[in-house]
Amino acid sequence: MPTKWTTRLRRSAVKNIQFENLLPDERPVFVASWLYAVTVLTVASLILVLGSGGILAFKGASWYHSSEVGHFVNSLHFWSTEFFFLFLIVHLWGNFWRAAWRGRRFATWVTGSVAFFISIITAFTGYLVQTNFDSQWIASQSKDAINSVGIGSFLNTLNTGQMLLLHVSLLPVVIIAVVVWHVILVQQHGFVPPIDAKEIDGDVK
C-alpha cells in the first residue's frame, strides 16, 4: 500500500527540520552583525506590508482615497513596502558577497532569490491597483511591453480586477510560502559563517 503524501511530508519534516532550533536562545557570535539585523527588519517590514495591505483590501479604494485614516494606512503600506525592498536588497547583496550558498545552502539562496523576484511582481501589481492616474498610466504603458513578449492574452494589466486578485490573493500567499520555506532552510542548515571563519571543535570561531 503506497504511503500517503501527508505521512511522507510529516516524516520529511521530522527528519530535516530541527525543531529545537526554531526558537533558539543561543546564536553564533558572528550573528551579532548589522547584516543579520537587516534580515529581521526585512521580515518586520513584510509583516507590516501584509497587515496594512489587508486593511486596505478590506476597506476598499473609496475608503483610503477619502478618509484621513485611510490615507494614513495607504501611506503606511507604501512606505513599509519601500523599506521592505530596501532591507531586502541589502540582505540579498550582503549574502551574495558572503557567498551564502556555501555549506549545502544552495536551496536557501534560491528560495531567497525567488522571494525577491516575486516581491517585484507583487509590487508591480500594487501600482496597477491604486485606482488613480498613475496606475492608469503604468497599466497602459506596461500593457504594450507585456503584449510584446506574448503573454498579453492572459495577463491584462488594464484589467484592474485581475491585477487586484493577483496582488491581494495569489502573490502574497506565494511570498509567505516561499519566505517560510526560506526561514525553515536557514534553521535547518544554520546561518552561513564568514568566509574567513575557522571551525574549532565543531564551533565557528
Which sequence spans correspond to the domains of the chain? 42-189
Q: Can you tell me the distance from the alpha carbon of 7 to that of 48, in angstroms, rounded to the nearest whole number? A: 35
Helix axes 68-97, 106-128, angle to 10 degrees: 150
Q: Quote the pLDDT of residue 5.
A: 77
Give the type of residue at 117: F
pTM score? 0.80
CA distance 102 to 199: 14
**For residue 153, how many other CB atoms are within 10 A of its CB?**
8
Cell of 18: 530541527
- Residue among 80, 62, 58, 82 nearest 71 (CA): 62
Q: Give the pLDDT of residue 115.
A: 93
pLDDT, residue 124, reads 93
Radius of gyration of the chain (CA): 21
Q: How far apart are CA 77 and CA 49, in angstroms?
A: 5
C-alpha cell recorded at residue 106: 544552495
Mind listing the pLDDT tens digit of every residue in the chain (205 residues)? 567 778 877 777 666 666 665 666 666 777 777 777 888 899 999 999 999 999 999 998 889 888 999 999 999 999 999 999 999 999 999 888 888 888 788 888 899 999 999 999 999 999 998 888 888 899 998 888 889 888 888 888 988 889 989 999 899 999 999 999 998 888 777 777 777 766 544 445 5
User: Which residues make Cβ contacts (< 8 Å) with residue 105, sequence separation at least 6?
Assistant: 185, 189, 192
Just give the CATH number of 42-189.
1.20.810.10
pLDDT at 161: 87
